[in-house]
Chain A
Amino acid sequence: MTEVHILSRQLYSSNRHRRLASFALVLPLLVFLIFSYGFPIGTMLWQSVSDKEVGAALPQTVVALASWDGKTLPDEMAFRALAADIKKARADETLAPAARRLNYDVSGFREVLFRTARRLPPADTASAKDYLTKLDPAWSDLAYWGAIRNAAGPASLYYLLSAIDLRSDPAGSIVAKPNDSAIFIDIFFRTFEMSLIVTLICVVLGFPVAYLLASLPARLAYPLLVLVLVPFWTSLLVRTAAWVVLLQNRGIVNHALIDLHILNEPTALIYNRLGVYVAMTHILLPYFILPLYSVMKGISPNYMRAAASLGARPIRAFVKVYLPQCASGITAGCLLVFTVAIGFYITPALVGGAADQMISYYIAFYTNTAANWGLACALSVWLLGATFILYVVYAKLAGGVAGPKT
Chain B
Amino acid sequence: MMSRFMRCIALATVGAFVTTAAAARDLTVVSWGGAVQKAQSTAFLEPFAAESKAPLRQASWEGGIGILRAKVQSGNADWDVVEVESDELAIGCEENLYEKLDWSKIGGKDVYFPEAVHPCGVGALLYSFVLAYDPAKVKDAPKSWADFYDLNKFPGKRALRSGPKLTLETALMADGVAPADVYKVLSTDEGVNRAFKKLDTIKSSIIWWQTGQKPVELLASGEVAMTGVFNGRITAAKNAGKVFNMVWNQSMFTWDSWVILKGSPNIDAAYKLLAYMEDASRQAKQMTMLANGTSNKASIGKVDAKVAADLPSAPENAAHAMEVSAQFWLDNFDKLSDRFTKWVAQ
Which residues does A use to contact B, with CB under 8 Å? Answer: 31, 35, 39, 42-43, 46-47, 50, 93, 96-97, 100, 103-104, 107-108, 110-111, 180-183, 186-187, 190, 249-250, 266, 271, 353-355, 362, 366-373
Assess A42 versus B338: contact at CB under 8 Å? Given A110-B331, A369-B64, A369-B66. Answer: no
CB <8 Å contact, B330 and A271: no
CB <8 Å contact, B10 and A47: no
Question: Which of B1, B208, B223 meets A47, CB within 8 Å?
Answer: B1
Question: Which of A35, A103, A181, A371 meets B14, CB within 8 Å?
Answer: A35
- Shortest C-beta distance, B241 to chain A (Å), equals 18
Assess A355 versus B344: contact at CB under 8 Å? Given A369-B64, A371-B65. Answer: yes
- List of B residues within 8 angstroms of A107 by Cβ: 331-332, 334-335
Assess A371 versus B64: contact at CB under 8 Å? Given A39-B10, A180-B342, A354-B344. Answer: yes
- Shortest C-beta distance, B95 to chain A (Å), equals 5
Question: Which of B10, B64, B67, B208 meets A35, CB within 8 Å?
Answer: B10
Query: Is chain B's interface secondary structure helix, strand, loop, or mixed overall?
Result: helix
Complex-state Cα separation, A182 to B339, whole angstroms: 8
- List of A residues within 8 angstroms of B2 by Cβ: 43, 46
Q: Mark contacts of B178-206 with chain A using CB atoms, 8 A cut-off: 1 yes-contact digit, 0 otherwise.
A: 00000000000000000000000000000
User: Once A and B bind, how many residue pairs between them come within 8 Å at the CB atom?
Assistant: 99
- List of A residues within 8 angstroms of B13 by Cβ: 31, 35
- List of B residues within 8 angstroms of A46 by Cβ: 2
- List of B residues within 8 angstroms of A368 by Cβ: 64, 66-67, 70
B337 within 8 A of A: yes
Assess A111 versus B64: contact at CB under 8 Å? Given A97-B95, A181-B338, A371-B69. Answer: no
Assess A108 versus B345: contact at CB under 8 Å? Given A183-B338, A370-B66. Answer: no
- List of B residues within 8 angstroms of A266 by Cβ: 223
Which residue on B lies nearest to A106, using beta carbons? B335
B281 within 8 A of A: no
Chain A to chain B: the 7 pairs with minimum beta-carbon distance, closest first: A371-B66, A107-B335, A369-B64, A355-B345, A183-B342, A111-B331, A354-B344
Q: Supply 30 A–B pairs (Cβ within 8 Å), ascending by A.
A: A31-B13, A35-B9, A35-B13, A43-B1, A43-B6, A46-B2, A96-B91, A100-B95, A107-B332, A107-B335, A108-B331, A110-B331, A111-B330, A180-B338, A181-B335, A183-B345, A187-B345, A190-B345, A266-B223, A353-B207, A354-B162, A354-B344, A354-B345, A355-B345, A368-B66, A369-B65, A370-B64, A370-B337, A371-B65, A371-B66
- Shortest C-beta distance, B100 to chain A (Å), equals 12
CB <8 Å contact, A103 and B66: no
